[in-house]
Amino acid sequence: MSGEQKGPPYTPPPYLSASSMGTFHQCPLKFKYNKIDGIPDKPSDATLLGNFVHETLEEFYVLPPEDRTLNSAKMLAAQVWSNANWEERIRGYVHPNNVRQFRWSAWWCLENLFKVEQPSLIDVKGIESEVNGPIGTATVKGFIDRFETTETGVCVSDYKTGKTPKASWLADKYLQLQIYATLLNDSGVANVTEIQLLYLKDGVNFTHQLVAEDFEKTIKYVQESHDAIQSACETGNFPHNKSRLCDWCAYKSICPGWKK
């Protein structure tokens, strides 16, 4: 267990991200295994698919607007696969018999991009941009898939390659982008007025116009998450939460909740 601390008290991570805060609320023990003990969270075929699509789109939106065509996306996908050694990167995580299906799934996501937007019309201002800074007393860091200029300001966009959620779950999905929007606005980098989630597996786009209440709730969530993590590190109290998500957890084999 790389970097395991013999606490408590434990040293909190130097910064929080939207995903790490989400992990803590999902299961504090999973957060400890990953962020305190430094045990790697092995990727799944789903996360690898998302990574491959993200890398391809990062190259795609660097192209001049007039060159952002379906054929260009197809050629870039092939180049990224070869140049970034994806055949080797998925070895051991994607069964050899499923590699062709993996590539087809990625291609369908790229095709569906053209169902949810016209890439040639996107006024890109940032791609895979790092944002970091304080929110309350927390230090927060993250990477934005893309942000672009709109008629009212700036829109922060996030690509998703998983299943499209129910409408009742969108508030949780928006939270990550609201954290990014807060960091961009507070740092003076951009005036973010809109966020959007592009679910490429199904070709669905969800857009949300930000209001003051969104930022207030975001700041409250980050501060409360930070305080709860600090307290857990001081006391060593990182309980496990058993749920259906445990079936996809890399730490299930060492979790006391699943020991026979």
Query: How far, in Å, are 68, 182, 190, 235, 246 from residue 238 at the CA level?
Result: 47, 28, 37, 9, 16
Question: SS3 for 66-96, per residue?
Answer: HHCCHHHHHHHHHHHHHHCCHHHHCCCCCCH
Q: d(Cα 104, Cα 107) in Å, to the nearest integer? A: 5
So what's the pLDDT on residue 167? 84
pLDDT at 8: 85
pTM listed for this prediction: 0.90
Residues making up the chain, counted from first to last: 260
- What's the pLDDT score for residue 57? 97
For 178, phi then psi, to 5°, come to -65, -35
Residue 37 to residue 170: CA distance in whole angstroms: 31
Helix ranges, the chain (H): 18-26, 28-31, 45-60, 70-83, 86-89, 99-116, 170-187, 212-235
- The confidence score (pLDDT) of residue 171 equals 87
- State the pLDDT at residue 3: 54
Burial class (CB in 10 A: 0-12, 13-18, 19+), 137: exposed
| In contact, 180 and 18? CB cutoff 8 Å | yes
pLDDT less than 50: residues of the chain: 1
Strand order in the sheet with 204-209: 124-135, 138-149, 154-160, 192-199, 204-209
The confidence score (pLDDT) of residue 260 equals 61
CA angle 101, 102, 107 (to 5 degrees): 90
Question: Dihedrals φ, ψ of 205, to 5°?
Answer: -125, 125
pLDDT given for residue 1 in this prediction: 47
